[in-house]
Amino acid sequence: MKIIAYGIRNDEMPYLKEWEQKNPEVEVKVETKLLDSSTVEEANGFDGVVAYQQKPYTKEILDKLGSFNIKYLSLRNVGVDNVDADAAKANGITVTNVPAYSPNAIAELAITEIMRLLRNTKRFEDKQRSGDLRWAPEIGQELNSKTVGVFGTGRIGHVLVDICRGFGAKVIAYDPFRNPELEKQGIYVDTPDDLYKQADIISLHAPAVKENEHMVNEKTLSEMKDGSYIINAARGSLIDTDALIKALDSGKLAGAALDTYESEVGVFNVNFDSFDDISDDRLKNLMSRDNVLITPHIAFYTETAVRNMVTLSMDANKDLINTGKSDKIVKL
């Protein structure tokens, strides 16, 4: 059995080596480059492909995999919004993901950013660089006196609900697919509008499906409380960036934390020589604000999560090749 693993980073290598030692019957080819039209030819002759989401898996790429008779594509991440579903189906390619490599990793980044915004830590850090160690005027706010609105209560949203409760916050949530356990606790509001209107802090944990595109827009932002905060550690496409910038300019929003950004492909996880070399003006605008926290899609980036992403995706690809089955098959 032969598997090619694309886009393997140095931090993933030890976990991949560990997996190879436990599965000596599998021949694994490591490709450090991402799967794209320039690298797809290398998959010829392999039984399965393991990759992770950073670039679109287009019809062109999936047709190529199909022409090599490759039927199994296992993603090391959760999101499948970069996979051309029609092309995968047309080529008979079964796709797996890793739906729960570490919900805590994402929820813990969300709470980190919520606390940083409420306590103005970016402003304090900026001031300190010029030797200003005074308190005022950055007086903070306490989470225990706030209402947190969790948009999406899948695995990640659920962990965040529990964490925020631990801080003593009031937590409300919206999800068209309610979690029975949380439903019993009475945390759900009936409509997204209710969430926008009632929460002081909204944290997004919804998938990048068509109907969620720009769900945070001029209209929904106008419904939010004055001086509220928004956190996005889910998908960049959920927020209309222009509307967000306007809401920050007007003071409608007191701050925002973005770990995902709608134009992040080709920018996040890239080393630019200087701030000026970043060509995206909207991103630079956001990065320059002392009430906006930008992290380059790092919510998943913990040792626990990365280990699970590698191990579980390799297991899934092997299962597919052996049996055609896996508990991680995605309905595209």
Report if residue 53 touches ligand COI, rule: CB under 6 A: yes
Report if residue 311 touches ligand COI, rule: CB under 6 A: no
Quick one: which of 6, 15, 46, 52 contacts ligand COI (CB under 6 A)?
A: 52
Binding mask 279-298 for ligand COI (x = CB under 6 A): ------------------x-
Q: How far is the CB of 235 from ligand COI (least distance, A)?
A: 7
Nearest residue (CB) to ligand COI, 78 versus 118: 78
Selected range binding ligand COI among 74-82, 144-152, 193-201, 240-248, rule: CB under 6 A: 74-82
Selected range binding ligand COI among 35-43, 71-79, 163-171, 244-252, rule: CB under 6 A: 71-79
Quick one: which of 62, 72, 77, 238 contacts ligand COI (CB under 6 A)?
A: 77
Nearest residue (CB) to ligand COI, 78 versus 244: 78
Look up 158 and say whether it is catalytic: no
Nearest residue (CB) to ligand COI, 13 versus 90: 13
Report if residue 79 touches ligand COI, rule: CB under 6 A: yes
Quick one: which of 150, 293, 300, 313 contacts ligand COI (CB under 6 A)?
A: 300
Q: Which long-range contacts (CB under 8 A, 24 or more apart) does 106-109 make?
A: 106/156, 106/159, 106/205, 106/233, 106/299, 106/300, 107/156, 107/157, 107/159, 107/160, 107/163, 108/163, 108/302, 109/233, 109/259, 109/295, 109/298, 109/299
Look up 264 and say whether it is catalytic: yes
Q: How far is the CB of 3 from ligand COI (least distance, A)?
A: 19
| Number of Cβ within a 10 Å radius of residue 79 | 17
Which of 264, 282, 303, 307 is an active site residue?
264
Q: How far is the CB of 78 from ligand COI (least distance, A)?
A: 4
Report if residue 232 touches ligand COI, rule: CB under 6 A: no
Nearest residue (CB) to ligand COI, 53 versus 228: 53
Q: Which residues bind to ligand COI, rule: CB under 6 A?
A: 52-53, 77-79, 297, 300
The catalytic residue positions are 235, 264, 297
